[in-house]
Structure 1
């Protein structure tokens, strides 16, 4: 079990050093440390105590200290492993950010069964834990965690992120499922107490998955890479940053061109009020270019969010108005019921809504219906942007959030980064974004923001 102890604690330490601020990293590192504590207990019992006895160092006080360390390490594994696993799967789930505020009490509620375990006495003198009671709460904890991991993987729409979720599930689910039987079920119901030793083989599989995926794909932010991988990552980051900027400039230059032509035609009609409105649209578009340049400059690897209080219905109205000249022969349906405020980055969210609406317009070259909805649910503020256009097949829909994927490859100035960027921005706002589409029946984009002040001041 020595390699289990070294392997798990090394992975846990590397994860914490790599990204100590991320909640999911801290919880999965906790799984590694609590699981490794079981290895430490076995190492003390199987190696240290016999070795100390042979050397004549196992005095009564040393033996008592070692027994206490062995027992403590064992309890940390038995009680801590199911708890940290379930907490990791909860915070790792993509819907965690939109759960209600009371989720902050969840760690304290779930630890209650753990603490109650200390009240019960083991049925046998040599048993490390009261198996009958502990199995009652560890079984649902571990099974619920496995179900949440699988659900999170299935729910993920970004194929790149889905690959990482699949690797995480492959690394964690089989090992915890096996541990459920060897540590709890078999001793409780079948009187088999030594099967925990076979955990070493399954943990070896887990460590192999983590090691291989860390070299090739990265695991939970842990990336073991060589120089050419770093160079490739840097080049892609620079390309992504400049492409996002080009995408924003392309959209706003298009708006400026459309409204310049509109002003030119309206000048003959001498409608001052309309001219003023159109000039304001051009000014807003030019300001947006400036804001996006300011955001992207020096931020090739990360989207910078600068939150302010926004009136989301007004922001959507402005985005629709800026693209209205391109909506020839289209019916626009606006259902903006939510009139409250939201904390968010105005420039980034303007770019998100403009991208999605532009995609909807492009999907309806012969005209159709564009629907923009803004509603409030119990937990979220939700935006739906729907078109009645060409739609996408299942294969395209699976790749829609992937960087550099596009269904408009034949068009100039299309970089295939719009929806990938949108997805990232919404995640930065602690929200979720999803797409529903059927070929020939149109596409709906759903954006959900948590009702709490996700990125604003508390």
Structure 2
């Protein structure tokens, strides 16, 4: 069990050192420390006590101290492991950032009540813990945690994030499921007390998954970087600044026309109100200002785009993009989920163009209406924007070429140049971010854009 102790506590320590402020990381490290405490208990009983006895160091005070240390470590594992595992699963669940803040505050304390009450029960003679009570809260805690991890994998639509969740579930779920039987079920109902020693083999599997996935992730990260550089080279070789500018102007002129027609129709029907007219004109003015900003920032006949960085609220900017598309949203069921309310360092004009373009693509994929979801979340180092539609989706052959310049699936539209997603990819990459698309025929399309978290605005505010 020395291997279990060293392995788990090393993982827990590394997690705390690398990311101590994130609750999810702290709970994951807590799982490692509580599980390792069981290993320490076994090390004290199997190695430390016999070693001290052989050398006649086991005085009565020393024996009492070691006995108490063994008991504390054992109870930490028995009572702490189910609790910390369930708390980690709750924080890891995709919808947790959207939970009510009061629920987030009280859930840890409410779930702590059953483990704390375990100290009020006396174990049967020969039993290390009161199994007749512990089994009734430890079992649902572990089962619920496993179920939440599995469900988080099934719900994830981003192929890259799904892989991460799958690896986490593969590492944690089998180990905790095995521990459920060896630590609680088998001792409680069949008086089989020593099977917990086999946990070392399952924990070795967990550590192998963690190490292997870390190495694999690094290799895949290099592969993705190479692909991105190749795509960026292709984009630079083919596209020009004037083509991108044409695309941007086309989108904004479309907005001006839509809101102009809206004002005209409402005026003809006598349904105008000063407040609504002012609001619609503000949208038209914002679109015209955006055209001016794009003209100013794209350099002549080249493809180079300058970023004018500033601190902005992505949740507010996404909402503004939806507002500017209001006439096109009449047939769509829009869901806005902004779990992240912090800042993003970026170019307001360029990000407005990117998000408006992706939103327009989503709406065009649902000509008869459907569900449009705009979600803003965060990970350890990234701000994640997801725009999801319930349209017809894309085939694999289309998905492979979706970022290629001049490639388009909208051949019936005269003003479509096939530059929208190429431009979006270029701008997201200039923000040091990544852009991925997940789509299947009949299941809609999800566009994921990840941006790095930056605590302050860089001294160099303009990036080429």
Residue equivalent to 1:190: 190
Residues 1:48 and 2:48 aligned together: yes
Q: Aligned partners of 1:93 and 1:148: how far apart in 2? A: 7
> Are the structure 2 counterparts of residues 203 and 66 from structure 1 closer, same or farther at C-alpha, using a change threshold of 3 Å?
same
Residues 1:27 and 2:20 aligned together: no
Residue equivalent to 1:110: 111
Q: Aligned partners of 1:85 and 1:421: how far apart in 2? A: 40
> Are the structure 2 counterparts of residues 57 and 371 from structure 1 closer, same or farther at C-alpha, using a change threshold of 3 Å?
closer
Q: Aligned partners of 2:315 and 2:155: how far apart in 1? A: 31
Q: Aligned partners of 1:5 and 1:232: how far apart in 2? A: 35
> Are the structure 2 counterparts of residues 320 and 3 from structure 1 closer, same or farther at C-alpha, using a change threshold of 3 Å?
same
Query: Please, which runs of 5 or more residues in structure 1 have no aligned partner?
Result: 218-224, 264-270, 298-303, 325-330, 376-382, 426-432, 448-458
Residue equivalent to 1:222: none
Residue equivalent to 1:266: none
> Are the structure 2 counterparts of residues 153 and 409 from structure 1 closer, same or farther at C-alpha, using a change threshold of 3 Å?
farther
Q: Aligned partners of 1:172 and 1:23: how far apart in 2? A: 17
Alignment of 1:90-239 (within 5 A): 90-101=90-101, 102-124=103-125, 126-217=126-217
Residue equivalent to 1:256: 249
Tell me, yes or no, if the aligned pair for 1:142 and 1:180 is still in contact at 8 Å.
yes
Tell me, yes or no, if the aligned pair for 2:283 and 2:324 is still in contact at 8 Å.
no
Tell me, yes or no, if the aligned pair for 1:319 and 1:350 is still in contact at 8 Å.
no
> Are the structure 2 counterparts of residues 372 and 215 from structure 1 closer, same or farther at C-alpha, using a change threshold of 3 Å?
closer
Tell me, yes or no, if the aligned pair for 1:9 and 1:33 is still in contact at 8 Å.
yes
Greater Cα shift, 307-316 or 47-56: 307-316
> Are the structure 2 counterparts of residues 157 and 417 from structure 1 closer, same or farther at C-alpha, using a change threshold of 3 Å?
farther
Q: Aligned partners of 2:216 and 2:393: how far apart in 1? A: 31
Offset at residue 445 of structure 1 (A): 6.8
Tell me, yes or no, if the aligned pair for 2:332 and 2:371 is still in contact at 8 Å.
yes
- Name the TM-score, length of structure 1 as normaliser: 0.68
> Are the structure 2 counterparts of residues 35 and 410 from structure 1 closer, same or farther at C-alpha, using a change threshold of 3 Å?
same
Q: Aligned partners of 2:373 and 2:199: how far apart in 1? A: 51
* Structural RMSD (CA): 5.1
Q: Aligned partners of 2:423 and 2:39: how far apart in 1? A: 46
Offset at residue 276 of structure 1 (A): 11
Tell me, yes or no, if the aligned pair for 1:16 and 1:29 is still in contact at 8 Å.
yes
Tell me, yes or no, if the aligned pair for 1:306 and 1:345 is still in contact at 8 Å.
yes
Tell me, yes or no, if the aligned pair for 1:316 and 1:353 is still in contact at 8 Å.
no
> Are the structure 2 counterparts of residues 418 and 120 from structure 1 closer, same or farther at C-alpha, using a change threshold of 3 Å?
farther
